[in-house]
Amino acid sequence: MPKTKVPRTLISLNLSKSALALIAFTKSVIQSMTGNAYFPNPQPPLATVQTALDELMSAEAAATKRALGAVATRNEKRTVLVALLEELRVSVQKVADANPEQAPSIINSAGMPVRKPAVRKPRVFSAVQGAVSGTVKLIVPSAGHRSSYDWQWSSDGGKTWQLLPSTIQARTTVTGLPPATNASFRYRAVTKTGVADWSEVISLLVK
């Protein structure tokens, strides 16, 4: 039986623009990676990161006192530290990639957060106003490869239906609808297995 491939776990630094928050985060990372068996030789060395952190802390203190030119210096030191943290992220990611099954715990052990996987909301039958008055956009769940879609609309609450052009995409734009009409819409998918039943009806007040 083939081995199941473990999805790649990624790091999400999402570094704060706040110098104080960046300082706190960097302290946590240095503390977490010091003596960590997963990272015997982190790149850049933690001593280099610590030096950049110390310089940012001093620059932040000067900026707080509103010393002349202190803000610009603080921003420069922040840029240097951010670049080092990005290099450190790459170093940690390489170790995580080499151990995919332990990747989340490896990343967390370095004091870095794991990127949450994107979750796609399932597509549902919906109608939204178009950019032009009298226009409505309809979107439906895909019925699969090589499917087509029949569309209808009604101006009297579904008592009578008017046929719209069929499409091969799971969406269509209806134009020329009378403004201020409470329009109803429905669709059906046509697949290689046959024609499906008409869908539920949704309504939208046309603008």
Domain CATH number, residue 176: 2.60.40.10
Shared domain for 94 and 130, answered yes or no, is no
Range of the domain at 25: 19-109
Packing angle, helices 70-98 and 19-33, rounded to 10: 40
pTM to 2 decimal places: 0.59
User: Residue 121 falls within a domain, yes or no?
Assistant: no
Cα separation of 30 and 28, whole Å? 6
Cα separation of 30 and 27, whole Å? 5
- Write down which residue in 109, 139, 157 finishes a domain: 109
User: Residue 13 falls within a domain, yes or no?
Assistant: no
Shared domain for 84 and 135, answered yes or no, is no
In this prediction, residue 4 carries a pLDDT of 60
- Write down which residue in 65, 84, 109 finishes a domain: 109
Sign of CA dihedral 110, 37, 57, 93: negative
What are the φ and ψ backbone dihedral angles of 162, each rounded to 5 degrees? Answer: -110, 135
Cα separation of 25 and 189, whole Å? 52
Instruction: Give strand ranges (E) for 2-158.
Output: 126-129, 136-139, 148-154
Shared domain for 84 and 36, answered yes or no, is yes
Shared domain for 146 and 67, answered yes or no, is no
User: Residue 87 falls within a domain, yes or no?
Assistant: yes
Cα separation of 187 and 125, whole Å? 9
Identify the helix (H) or strand (E) that includes residue 30: helix 19-33
Q: Are 180 and 205 in contact (CB under 8 A)?
A: yes
Shared domain for 100 and 143, answered yes or no, is no
User: Residue 10 falls within a domain, yes or no?
Assistant: no
User: Residue 52 falls within a domain, yes or no?
Assistant: yes
CA angle, 9 as apex, 4 and 10 as ends, to 5°?
A: 155
CA-based radius of gyration for the chain: 28
Per the DSSP assignment, residues forming a β-bridge with 139 are: 126, 171
User: Residue 12 falls within a domain, yes or no?
Assistant: no
Shared domain for 26 and 97, answered yes or no, is yes
- Write down which residue in 109, 144, 164 finishes a domain: 109
Cα separation of 111 and 13, whole Å? 10
Shared domain for 101 and 145, answered yes or no, is no
| Number of domains into which the chain is organized | 2
Shared domain for 96 and 144, answered yes or no, is no
In this prediction, residue 145 carries a pLDDT of 87
User: Residue 119 falls within a domain, yes or no?
Assistant: no
Q: How far is C-alpha 155 from the geometric centre of its chain's CA atoms?
A: 39
Mind listing the pLDDT tens digit of every residue in the chain (207 residues)?
445 667 899 999 989 999 999 999 999 999 999 999 999 999 999 999 999 999 999 999 999 998 889 999 999 999 999 999 999 999 999 999 999 999 999 999 999 999 987 777 788 999 999 999 999 999 999 999 889 999 999 999 999 999 999 999 999 999 999 999 999 999 999 999 999 999 999 999 999
Shared domain for 23 and 97, answered yes or no, is yes
Cα separation of 85 and 78, whole Å? 10
Shared domain for 99 and 31, answered yes or no, is yes
Shared domain for 139 and 186, answered yes or no, is yes
Which amino acid is residue 117, in one-letter code? P
User: Residue 118 falls within a domain, yes or no?
Assistant: no
Q: Tokens standing for 204?
A: 């939208």
